[in-house]
Chains A and B, each alone.
Chain A
């Protein structure tokens, strides 16, 4: 089993709709989680950090379910510019504070007009 698993998608979403997708992680001791966004052929960029039960930033909401070991990302009122691959990220070791990160393979979101 991979350390971090994601549904690859693509999730095809009409503009203005809501989309949500999950990421499962294998290490129950993991304490911090991140969502990165990666545009085609570009570098990943930090979207959100999740340290407790969840986090909200504008149209983006991340939720953590420790019992089931998954993190979700919800995007409301989708914009065309939200089209990207969303990478779920967990530190290499649960107590690692030095940013050695494990990435999932990513979930592709395509927002259509």
Chain B
């Protein structure tokens, strides 16, 4: 196990609602990245947080937002949920300046 935890494991929401997903990084890791993985696709980079600030963002609209806390844990917030937001959301932690990322088990979000 990587030591990266995510909650909840599964979530069902209705279109238009808002959702918050949580991630606890591996001990000592100060960088957290979030990815969206649709069925049959590879993970897509959403954004990364380092020292509580956004440090790069992929091609996702502003309704995807995040936070990182002083203990390096992180949240992903998605507003105005759309059906296409249904996916596995993965959190990965790493040390700064390291390519080696450790993924959590993911949160499976279903939007109906």
* Interface residues of A, Cβ cutoff 8 Å to B: 4, 8, 32, 34, 42-46, 49, 87, 91-92, 96-106
Contact = CB atoms under 8 A, between A and B. Distances in A.
Q: Which 5 A-B pairs have the closest CB atoms?
A: A103-B42, A43-B103, A103-B43, A105-B42, A100-B56
B101 A97 contact: no
B42 A97 contact: no
Contacts of B45: 92, 100-102
B104 A34 contact: no
Interface string B78-112: 00000000000010101011111101111000000
B40 interface: yes
A34 B44 CA distance: 15
Contacts of B44: 103
B31 interface: yes
Contacts of B99: 32, 34, 49, 91, 97, 99, 101
A46 B100 contact: yes
A101 B34 CA distance: 10
Contacts of A49: 99-100
- Candidate in B45, B90, B104, B106 with the most chain A CB atoms within 10 angstroms: B45
Contacts of B43: 44, 87, 101, 103
Interface of B: 2, 31, 33, 35, 40-45, 48, 50, 55-56, 58, 90, 92, 94, 96-101, 103-106
Contacts of A106: 41-42
Nearest to A32: B99
Contacts of B90: 43-44
Nearest to B90: A43
B101 A99 contact: yes
Contact of A98 (B97, B104, B106): B97
Contacts of A102: 45
Contacts of A98: 31, 48, 50, 55-56, 96-97
